[in-house]
Structure 1
Amino acid sequence: MKTAIVQAAPVPLDITEGLKRLLLLLQDAIDTGAELIAFGETFLGGYPLWLDEASDAAKWDHPGTKALHAILLEQAVRERDSRFEPLQALVDKAGVMVSVGAHERRRNSLYNNQILFRSGLPPLPHRKLVPTHGERLIWNRGDGSTLDIHDGPQGKIGNLVCWEHWMPLARAAMHNQGEMIHVAAWPTVRESYSIASRHYAFEGRCFVLAAGTVQHRDDLLESIDRLGNNAQARTLVQQMDNAQLQFGGSQIIAPDAEILAQAGDGTEIITAELDMSMIGQGLASLDTDGHYSRADVFELRVDRSAKDGVVWKN
């Protein structure tokens, strides 16, 4: 299978415009012959950089933080969002699969969702189980109902997002489902994130597409202007350095942890042909879900039920 990672700058906040950019970039990736194409964490809406880069973002009742949250709530995708129809049509026409991150709204909460679009099938969501550190100011936690993989003729394919790769039991649950190709979505694939991605490949005996993005402070300011020029949001974002703040670093990794393709810190598409026979060869020495699992000593239970918090009865 030929795979690709599209490492590019999202359109921050403005998800409607972001979907238009996504379609253009996706067509370029399809033209490479790739069958599975990955984009980085929250490519639709952009990573909320102000949480890390603006010193006042975590202050109680900060008007800029509230303004940016309101914009994302308004823009966020929803389940069965009609704005996905052109994307699904392109996926169906090309016969490809596409993993892309998005801010998703469910009721009145935001979630970090890495969605796998599949030809002829409904999208497969994965909502991040634990938002990392400051991300808890913006995203709710996912539940076990989206801890799933695609199982089709192309193989078994799954997603995890960012620091989920340091959740040992989440990794074990994904390995148990027999992933062959895994999308590891990151904002930037810095050194420690590369280590986590390569470890996942070796531990799970699967290929890993570690997908990062590129983003600058001024990208956020341009979107704020386009979406109504909210003064409070602009003031908060202007606290951030006027510089590039996400640096790509995407990688395609083999089951033996070898890096097959490596991106720089700018916009580019990287590709790699995957030799699927490497998976079976690697399992001869290490199967963390089988002969290396000691099921007589350890047991993992996974609750796949949706946790909506409210049960209505007649």
Structure 2
Amino acid sequence: MHDLKDACKIAVVQATPVMFDADACVKKALSLMGEAASNGAELVVFPELFVPGYPYGLTYGFTVGSRTEAGRADWKSYCDNSILADGPQMRALIDKACELGVYVSIGYSERDGVTGTLYNSNMMISPYGEALNHRKLKPTGAERVVWGDADCDYFPVMQTPWGPMANLICWESYMPLARVALYQKGVAIYVSPNTNDNPEWQSTIRHIAIEGKCFFVNADMVFGRKDYPALVDDAANAQVAALPEIVCRGGSCVIDPYGHEVSGTVWDREEIIYAELDMQKVPASRMEHDPCGHYARPDVLDLRVCEK
């Protein structure tokens, strides 16, 4: 890594989306990008589904074998506020990254411009206008009634001044072979946009940083019951009313390749978390353990990725 920059100033944006309003979420993201850049950030990371928010607790009227029309109306509203990977809202984010000279990672609900299917996606953006899209391989649990399985854009890796950067969305990181697919590409910065504030996750992120010998960027959001707009379906409004005051607590942080915190872990509030990444820790940590190099047995175990 001697030909790469030794340090990266990262900003992890733990923020509340403007729930289910794509244009307002993009406007807020643009403002936060500007704030982070003004404080010296070179890489700005947003959570999963920052545009237009994560519909935690909602069923959209789905039960096995049936659905309600009121639930369909709320789902259609969410669909309308999901954005195109090459649409004007994403173009505004790309243009802002170029204007500010920063790398950006942002989670969003993607609407396929041909089929209309929704995907839980994450876009990595360079300050030179490169944009690499990743669709979540397998939506988790009841997420499957909203978003489809990824059908393309598998395991994109962005070459940065600090080494390869890639992302897996939330519980994709519990897919061991998906992690290996990133390790095989030499990932140095492993971005995890997620909505996962349980304590077990804090153990997971340290394990993956040690396993992959990479920096793990844990980007979660924070939002509460009060942040939901009124919905069409009375049952959906009742579901929101039953949620706790703080629905997602955050817990964002950055972990180094040895499993140690590079930043503090922030709970229950909006905050931009700044950290300085010592990128020389990545090759140094691989002295005794390189999961797809000298600590591998490709003659015994081999991963084949069916990239499309």
TM-score between both structures, scaled by the size of structure 2: 0.91
Q: Which residue of 1 aligns with 2:275?
A: 272
Instruction: Select 2:167's aligned residue among 159, 167, 176.
Output: 159
Q: Which residue of 1 aligns with 2:120?
A: 112
Q: Which residue of 2 aligns with 1:83?
A: 89
Instruction: State the AA in 2 paired with 1:191.
Output: P
Please state if 1:2 is matched with 2:4: no
Q: 1:271 to 1:238 in 2, by over 3 A?
A: closer
Structure 1 residue matching 2:190: 3-state secondary structure = strand
In 1: Cα distance, 2:189 partner to 2:304 partner: 23
Q: CA RMSD in A?
A: 1.9
Q: How many residues align?
A: 297
Structure 1 residue matching 2:275: 3-state secondary structure = strand
Q: Is the 8 A contact 1:201 1:208 kept in 2?
A: yes
**Within-5 A mapping of 1:296-311:** 296-305=299-308
Instruction: State the AA in 1 paired with 2:256.
Output: A
Q: 1:144 to 1:291 in 2, by over 3 A?
A: farther
Q: Which residue of 1 aligns with 2:27?
A: 20
In 2: Cα distance, 1:274 partner to 1:108 partner: 39
Spell out, residue by residue over 1:7-56, the C-alpha distance to the aligned partner (whole angstroms, 9 max, x if none). Answer: 010011111111011111221111221111111110111111124xx696
Q: Which residue of 1 aligns with 2:180?
A: 172
1:72 CA drift (Å): 1.6
5+ residue gaps in structure 1? Answer: 306-314
**Within-5 A mapping of 1:226-245:** 230-232=232-234, 235-241=237-243, 243-245=245-247
Q: Which residue of 1 aligns with 2:5?
A: none
1:259 CA drift (Å): 1.0
Please state if 1:190 is matched with 2:190: no
Please state if 1:46 is matched with 2:53: yes
Q: Which residue of 1 aligns with 2:290?
A: 287
In 2: Cα distance, 1:100 partner to 1:245 partner: 21
Q: 1:273 to 1:163 in 2, by over 3 A?
A: same
TM-score between both structures, scaled by the size of structure 1: 0.89
Instruction: State the AA in 2 paired with 1:94.
Output: L
Whichever structure has more helix as a proportion of its residues is 1
Structure 2 residue matching 1:145: 3-state secondary structure = coil
In 2: Cα distance, 1:266 partner to 1:100 partner: 19
In 1: Cα distance, 2:36 partner to 2:242 partner: 32
Structure 1 residue matching 2:50: 3-state secondary structure = coil
In 2: Cα distance, 1:13 partner to 1:55 partner: 14
Instruction: State the AA in 2 paired with 1:18.
Output: C
Identity of matched residues, %: 33
Q: Is the 8 A contact 1:78 1:104 kept in 2?
A: yes
Spell out, residue by residue over 1:158-203, the C-alpha distance to the aligned partner (whole angstroms, 9 max, x if none). Answer: 1111111110100000000111111111113332222221111111
Higher alpha-carbon deviation: 230-239 or 195-204? 230-239
Instruction: State the AA in 2 paired with 1:282.
Output: S
Spell out, residue by residue over 1:243-279, the C-alpha distance to the aligned partner (whole angstroms, 9 max, x if none). Answer: 1101111011100010111212211111111111111
1:67 CA drift (Å): 2.1
Q: 1:178 to 1:79 in 2, by over 3 A?
A: same
In 1: Cα distance, 2:258 partner to 2:27 partner: 37
Instruction: State the AA in 1 paired with 2:250.
Output: G
Q: 1:237 to 1:42 in 2, by over 3 A?
A: same
Q: Is the 8 A contact 2:121 2:136 kept in 1?
A: yes
